[in-house]
Amino acid sequence: MCGHKGWDDNQLIVHHAISVPGMNFGKMGGKASDSAGIPLHVLCHNDFHSAFPKHKEEQILWLTKILMKAVQHFVPKR
Decide if 61 is inside a domain: yes
pTM score of the predicted model: 0.70
Beta bridge partners of 37: 16
Residue 4 placed within a domain: no
d(CA 72, CA 42) in angstroms, rounded, equals: 26
Determine the structural domain holding residue 56 and report its residue range: 12-74
The answer as to whether 69 is a domain residue is: yes
Is the pLDDT score of 27 beyond 70?
Answer: no
Count other C-beta atoms under 10 Å from residue 44's C-beta. Answer: 20
Residue 3 located in a structural domain: no
Check residue 1 and give its pLDDT: 58
Identify whether 30 is part of a domain.
yes
Whether residue 34 contacts residue 17, with contact meaning beta carbons closer than 8 Å, is answered with: no
The residues with which 15 forms a beta bridge, in sequence order, are: 38
pLDDT tens figures, 30-78: 677 778 888 888 888 899 889 988 888 888 888 888 888 888 888 887 7
Total of domains in the chain: 1
Within-domain flag for 6? no
Identify whether 28 is part of a domain. Answer: yes
